[in-house]
Structure 1
Amino acid sequence: MNIAQWAAWLEHSPLGEWMRASGAAYPAVNLVHLAGLVLLLGPMLLLDLRLLGVARKFPLPEVSALLTPLAAGGLALLLASGVLLFAADAGPLLDNPLFPIKLACIALGAANALLFRALWSGRLGGWDASAPRLGRLQAAASLMLWIAAGVFGRLLAYF
């Protein structure tokens, strides 16, 4: 089964039918998706800006410990609600040229976050004294990727 066949199956599955037929399901899931976007983007943008040197009076290890779980929770909400929203309109979404760009931004953003954690999470205490260039590049990439994912996701409705 290729991706187009799987998308057609999902769209015509009971889940896809329910998402389209229920008067409350799609709007409720869309609100959860928006809440997930806020919970991901807000903390990630604040953390990335802190990694780039903004607001140095706040200790980076504590900022990271506070904001990372919020961002992870937001990503979990986005992924779960995204599958439900996709089930409602899988065929048209697959045909939308922005959809693969959105997915690529999400995949790259998540991979970047995991790599960042693997490389730097134990060394945030000395970050302000000598931040690694690669780490700062990853923070800048994170800013761009997560904003781009949100922008492309919002634009899906208009293309």
Structure 2
Amino acid sequence: MFVGGTIMTINYLTNSGFVTFLQALILAMCYTVTQDQRGGKVSYMFISIPAQLTPYAMIAFNLLFPGGVMNMILQIQGLVAAHLYEFLTRVWPEYGGGRNLIPTPASLTTVLRAAGTLQTNVAAAAGIRTADRASGQGTGASRGPLPDSWRTRGPGHRLG
């Protein structure tokens, strides 16, 4: 909600005149996700780049298409909104000594916690292992999709 409102505010203040904001929201989501994956490599189209540069590659890729400059301006608005969100929720509380200026509403936290509990209960009743046990969290292998995540599973053994 914060990022969407910020994109709309930037659009209004700059008098850009955009009426759809999906590209800005996608870029904002990409920026937020890749900040957690620093040091990882990703393939964007046909090149390998560091994960944190993916949003900038998305912006630059627009120059290959007609009307790409306008899309680039819209995506930059999303980048500014995501950067502001990242600063106010992570950087400022951790390094600036402040508090989180955009706390998650308690009602949303309650709904999501209840949905997670319901999913776990239904999975247990059906005899399905939930993601935390299936992903190897207890083995230390829950590092995510980074290329070196397979190394934490142990030495392995030759088959055959």
TM over 0.5: no
Q: Which has the higher contact order (CA 8 A, sep 6+)?
A: 1
Structure 2 length as normaliser, TM-score?
A: 0.28
- Bigger-Rg structure (1/2): 2
